[in-house]
């Protein structure tokens, strides 16, 4: 059954929010920078949090809040993946999980691969865990963005010990195929390296593209890999602090089990409660409605750019609500987000923050109403003349 698209909240109501998106800039700025969305929460989440507040249920997170069962059911329904509940452990957020996994899989000074342009915190979490950043940029072809497997193999041959995989990829919205992931796993295994996959945008993959969890790509992937995910991006729960570290082999599961108890204690109770409600089947219709809206918006953005900003270069993303837009041809410098904010009052994410390949780009969040998206691109288009 097809569900109708989800409607964004009125902007007057959104401006009452106290989160980063709505407090970083004055009210005359349209904020399309940070990865927060403008929709009402899934009803099951609202009800669960409302009940907790009414009960004063604001204490410590219990050892088993129901996340393991909820996520394993979600993964089977949405991805066709059967993950053992013993391979699921929670922590505060995805980057916290990445840092802890690196601390337990690399030695100080080991090089860790990332694939720019990529999520900016990747550059910081590797040194936090004692590693050194090594980059193997994505390759762009006429078909889209892809991993440079030959470059990754050369980096592992040169001594790199681990890789942070972003799948789906932020900011390009690329979803790596099962075949690519299996080949990546084989390469890592050949050098005794580890793959840590950030899969936070996985619930928002748009048809006909199919999401493959890295750990399910092959038996080798299960052996060399770890994954970290959360309900926070799809369901707009970032402030509640709950993420999941995932494993699919006895050896990797033991690595996560050996982490200090404090790693799991960092899970927020409201994050756990909301995560269970998000992954429950009763929230599936809401998620499908959200995806329907984002599907419309990602295509609307292409039309708006063609009309108002024809020099822009934009590939419709396969996942999520983040658009990676090349504005180099507009002549607005290496960091066009600065000029756009200053002269049009539209806040976009700085492409340069994503590393190599980010010069001349902006990242735009289209998880908003069509009206807000249209207004933003119209303003930017006027700047182009």
Spatial separation of the C-alpha atoms in residues 124 and 146, rounded to whole Å: 23
> Please, are residues 200 and 231 in contact by the beta-carbon 8 Å criterion?
no
Q: State both tokens at 269.
A: 């109770």
Q: Where do the domains of the chain lie?
A: 11-41+284-384, 49-281
Sign of the Cα torsion 291, 295, 300, 301 reads positive
Spatial separation of the C-alpha atoms in residues 141 and 352, rounded to whole Å: 21
Instruction: Kindly tell me the number of DSSP H helices and DSSP E strands found in the chain.
Output: 16, 15
Residue 280: closest CA among 14, 44, 8, 11: 44
Q: Was domain 49-281 assigned CATH 3.40.50.880?
A: no
Residue 325: closest CA among 306, 345, 343: 306
Per DSSP, the residues of 7-27 read PPPPHHHHTT--SHHHHSS-T
Interval 298-336: pLDDT, tens: 999 999 999 999 999 999 999 999 999 999 999 999 999
pLDDT of residue 1: 58
pLDDT < 70 regions, the chain: 1
Interval 327-362: pLDDT, tens: 999 999 999 999 999 999 999 999 999 999 999 999
Q: Was domain 11-41+284-384 assigned CATH 3.40.50.150?
A: no
Per DSSP, the residues of 28-71 read TSEE--SS---SPPPHHHHHHHHHHHHHT--SPPPS--SHHHHH
In DSSP terms, which residues pair with 226 in a beta bridge? Answer: 196
Q: How many CB atoms lie within 10 A of CB 355?
A: 20
Interval 238-269: pLDDT, tens: 999 999 999 999 999 999 999 999 999 999 99
Q: Tell me what percent of the chain is helix, strand and coil, each rounded to the nearest 5.
A: 45, 15, 40
Spatial separation of the C-alpha atoms in residues 385 and 382, rounded to whole Å: 5
End-to-end CA distance of the chain: 44
Q: State both tokens at 116.
A: 């720019």
């Amino acid at each position: 059954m097809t569900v109708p698209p989800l409607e964004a909240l009125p902007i007057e109501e959104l401006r009452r929010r106290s989160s980063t998106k709505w407090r970083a800039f004055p009210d005359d700025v349209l904020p399309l920078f940070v990865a927060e969305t403008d929709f009402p929460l899934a009803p099951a989440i609202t009800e669960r949090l409302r009940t907790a507040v009414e009960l004063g249920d604001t204490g410590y997170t219990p050892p088993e809040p129901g996340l393991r069962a909820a996520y394993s059911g979600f993964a089977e329904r949405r991805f066709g993946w059967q993950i053992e509940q013993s391979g699921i452990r929670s922590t505060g957020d995805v980057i916290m999980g990445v840092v802890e996994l690196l601390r337990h899989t690399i030695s100080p000074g080991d090089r860790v691969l990332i694939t720019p342009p990529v999520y900016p915190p990747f550059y910081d979490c590797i040194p936090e865990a004692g590693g050194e950043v090594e980059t193997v940029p994505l390759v762009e072809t006429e078909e889209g963005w892809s991993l440079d497997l030959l470059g990754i193999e050369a980096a592992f041959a040169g001594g790199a010990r681990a890789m942070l995989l972003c799948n789906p990829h932020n900011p390009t919205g690329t979803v790596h195929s099962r075949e690519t992931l299996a080949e990546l796993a084989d390469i890592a295994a050949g050098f005794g390296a580890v793959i840590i996959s950030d899969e936070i945008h996985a619930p928002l993959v748009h048809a006909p593209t199919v999401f493959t969890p890295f750990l399910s790509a092959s038996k080798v992937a299960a052996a060399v890999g770890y994954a970290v995910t959360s309900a926070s991006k799809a369901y707009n729960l970032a402030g509640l602090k709950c993420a999941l570290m995932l494993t699919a082999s006895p050896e990797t599961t033991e690595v996560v089990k050996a982490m200090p108890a404090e790693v799991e204690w960092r899970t927020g109770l409201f994050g756990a409660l909301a995560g269970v409600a998000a992954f429950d089947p009763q929230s599936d219709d809401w998620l499908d409605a959200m995806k329907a809206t984002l599907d419309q918006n990602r295509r609307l953005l292409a039309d708006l750019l063609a009309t108002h900003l024809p020099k822009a270069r934009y590939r419709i993303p396969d996942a999520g609500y983040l658009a990676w837009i090349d504005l180099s041809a507009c002549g607005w410098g290496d960091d066009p987000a600065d000029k756009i904010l200053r002269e049009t009052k539209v806040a976009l994410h700085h492409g340069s923050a994503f590393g190599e390949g980010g010069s001349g780009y902006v990242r735009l969040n289209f998880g908003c109403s069509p009206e807000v998206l249209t207004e933003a691109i119209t303003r930017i288009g006027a700047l182009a003349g």
